[in-house]
Amino acid sequence: MRLVPASLSGRIVALTLLALVVSQLVSFFIFMHERDRFLERVVLSNMGESVASAMRTLDFVPPVHRADAVKALSTRDLRYRLADSPGRLFEQHSPEARGMARDLARGMEVDVARLRVAIGPGLAHGPNRQAGDALRLAVRLDEGQWLRARQRLFDPTRRWAQSSLTTLLVSALLMVVIVVVTSRRMTRPLRELARAAERFGRGEDVDPLPERGPEEIRRSITAFNRMRERLTRFMAERTRMVAAIAHDLRTPITALRLRLEFLPDDDNTRSMARTLEDMAGMSEAALTFMREETAAEATRNVDLSALVDALCEDYRASGAAVVFEPEARVALVCRPVAIRRALRNIIDNALAYGERATLTLSDGAESVVLEIADTGPGIDDADMQRVFDPFVRLEASRSRETGGTGLGLSIARSVVQGHGGEIGLVNAEGGGLIVRIRLPRDRTR
């Protein structure tokens, strides 16, 4: 079991409750202490006065009636009795009781030697207090008899503890409600920020967030907005630059082609013409890619299995061996046109370097995994990273005259990464290449 709640508002609630309980406990003990001292003083002075007046009364009562008079003077909480000794209990009195005896003697104006005091359970300190006698006292009368008095005390501790527990519970409940409401309000901008960052990371368009909430959260939002602005500008700038280069390359390529027309037709010029053809193709492909990249497609919830199925159906219609067995319906928030473009590039490779493509789609809580396997020669481990770079074509494929510019995989990777996903290559056990694409689910939705 975890003791610390995961969410920020949960932690604020826990902290507030802890502070509440600690402060209640501290004030409970302070109160207990103060109450003990107060009770002691009240009991002492009350009892002192009552006993003194009882003594004065007894002075006027003839000895034969004294026993009855003492009974009549007794009340429910203060009982008197006449005896020949101060009682066993009073032999062993504590320093505290001696101090009380001194105070009492002063208040009653009698010699302290005539007084015995014992503190009962009713006046014990703190949690040791119980219902019962608070104080017992014996004072020697002039005739040598002892007037014994016992003061009972109603113990209010239990009731106080009960009511303070109720107060604690009620105030804790109120506090939890207030703290939950306010802390959820306070952390709402933070949750919005997390959602926006997640979506931005997945390549979605996000509007700048309103800068609100507590100071620290506001500063984070400002930083996020600034980062979003710079990244968007940087990406647009980069796309524009590559597009401009690809575009401007067309003019010199055309000029070279024209000049080539005037040269004699031999192996040399034919090879030059082929190279120029390649260059024209590359710049054309780069331009197309950039055009598609800038045509910012909106994300939407897509039935991915249906999308893949339809794509494979198109291939099969043109006679290609592309297999897809959809298991369950897999939906994903993504940009369908871009995903289709990436898949087409990979299936094209599978068909160009192998003969058939087999697709599988599996669903997970965190992400969706798409695999495209082929029956080709696979790729050397050393080349697996390189083939994703733009315009990289391996020697083997060049000699096979498959055509192409070497942009297919880099476009596919850019699409997958634009969705916050990963793309990787593995050589299958029985030969052939497996392209594995992992697309994360949006967990903030």
Ligand X SMILES: Nc1ncnc2c1ncn2[C@@H]1O[C@H](COP(=O)(O)OP(=O)(O)OP(=O)(O)O)[C@@H](O)[C@H]1O
Residues that bind ligand X in the complex, under the rule CB under 6 A: 345, 349-350, 353-354, 374, 376-377, 379, 387, 392-394, 397, 404-410, 433
**Between 172 and 320, whose beta carbon lies closer to ligand X?**
320
The DSSP secondary structure of 369-404, one letter per residue, reads EEEEEESS----GGGTTGGGSTT---HHHHHTT---
Min. distance of Cβ 409 from ligand X in angstroms?
Answer: 3
Cα–Cα–Cα angle for 119, 124, 126, nearest 5°?
165
Nearest CB to Mg ion, comparing residues 86 and 408:
408
The CA distance from 153 to 133, in Å, is: 6
- What is the C-alpha separation between 102 and 94, in angstroms, rounded? 12
Helix (H) or strand (E) holding 300: strand 300-303
Nearer to ligand X by Cβ, of 330 and 347: the residue is: 347
- Residue 82 binding result from Mg ion, ligand X, none, given CB thresholds of 5 to 8 Å by partner type: none
By a kind-dependent CB cut-off of 5 to 8 A, residue 440 interacts, out of Mg ion, ligand X, none, with none
Q: Per CB under 5 A, which region of 31-39, 149-157, 211-219, 344-352 contacts Mg ion?
A: 344-352
Residues 420 and 175: beta-carbon distance below 8 Å: no
Rounded alpha-carbon distances, angstroms, from residue 187 to 8, 176, 193, 196, 211: 8, 16, 10, 14, 13
10 Å CB burial of residue 117 (0-12, 13-18, 19+) is: buried
Task: Tell me how far, at minimum, the Cβ of 324 lies from ligand X, in Å.
Answer: 17
- Does 354 bind Mg ion (CB under 5 A)? Our answer is no
379 binds, among ligand X, Mg ion, none (CB under 5 to 8 A by kind): ligand X
Whether 389 contacts 410, CB under 8 Å? yes
Closest distance between ligand X and the C-beta of residue 188, in Å? 45
| CB contact at 8 A, 334 and 203 | no
Strand partners, 83: 146
Q: What's the angle, vertex CA 301, arms to CA 300 and CA 305, rounded to 5?
A: 125
In the complex, least distance from residue 428 CB atom to ligand X, rounded to whole angstroms: 11
User: First CA to last CA across the chain, in angstroms?
Assistant: 28
Q: Choose the one of ligand X, Mg ion, none that binds residue 387, judging by a C-beta under 5 to 8 angstroms depending on kind.
A: ligand X
* Alpha helices per DSSP H over 60-85: 66-73
CB of 400 to ligand X, least distance (A): 9
Strand 321-324 versus strand 300-303 pairing type: unpaired
Query: How do beta strands 367-374 and 146-153 pair?
Result: unpaired
Shortest Å distance, C-beta 305 to Mg ion: 24
Contact between 349 and Mg ion (CB under 5 A)?
A: yes
Listed ranges 37-45, 149-157, 362-370, 402-410: which one lies at the site for Mg ion (CB under 5 A) = 402-410
Residue 406 contacts which entry, ligand X, Mg ion, none (Cβ below 5-8 A, type-dependent) = ligand X
196's contact among ligand X, Mg ion, none, with CB below 5 to 8 A by partner kind, is none
Q: Which residues contact 426 (CB under 8 A, 6 or more apart)?
A: 433, 434, 436
Q: Which residue is nearest to ligand X (CB)?
A: 408
Q: How far is CA 46 from CA 50, 94, 129, in A?
A: 6, 21, 19
Judged by beta carbon, residue 221 or residue 350, the one nearer ligand X is 350
Candidate residues 122, 378, 408, 432; the one interacting with Mg ion per rule CB under 5 A: 408
For Mg ion, which stretch binds (CB under 5 A), given 190-198, 262-270, 321-329, 405-413? Answer: 405-413
Nearest residue relative to Mg ion (C-beta) = 408
Q: Based on CB atoms, which residue is closest to ligand X, 182 or 275?
A: 275
Query: Taking contact as CB under 5 A, which single stretch among the options 227-235, 343-351, 383-391, 394-402 is the one that binds Mg ion?
Result: 343-351
**Could you say which of Mg ion, ligand X, none residue 120 binds, taking C-beta under 5 to 8 angstroms by partner kind?**
none
CB of residue 366 to ligand X, shortest distance in Å: 27
Which is nearer to ligand X, 47 or 409 (by Cβ)? 409
Distance CA 57, CA 429 (A): 115
Q: Of how many residues is the chain composed?
A: 445
Name the binder of 393 from Mg ion, ligand X, none, CB < 5-8 A by kind: ligand X
Minimum separation from the CB atom of position 410 to Mg ion (A): 10
Min dist CB 423 to ligand X, Å, is 11
Closest approach, Cβ 1 to ligand X, in A, equals: 50
Give least dist CB 234 to ligand X, A.
25
Q: Which does 358 bind (CB under 5 to 8 A by kind): Mg ion, ligand X, none?
A: none
CB hemisphere CA count around 10 (13 angstroms): 6
From 11-19, 88-96, 388-396, 404-412, span contacting Mg ion (CB under 5 A): 404-412
Report the alpha-carbon distance of residue 401 to residue 234 in Å, rounded: 37
Give me the residues that bind Mg ion (CB under 5 A), please.
349, 408
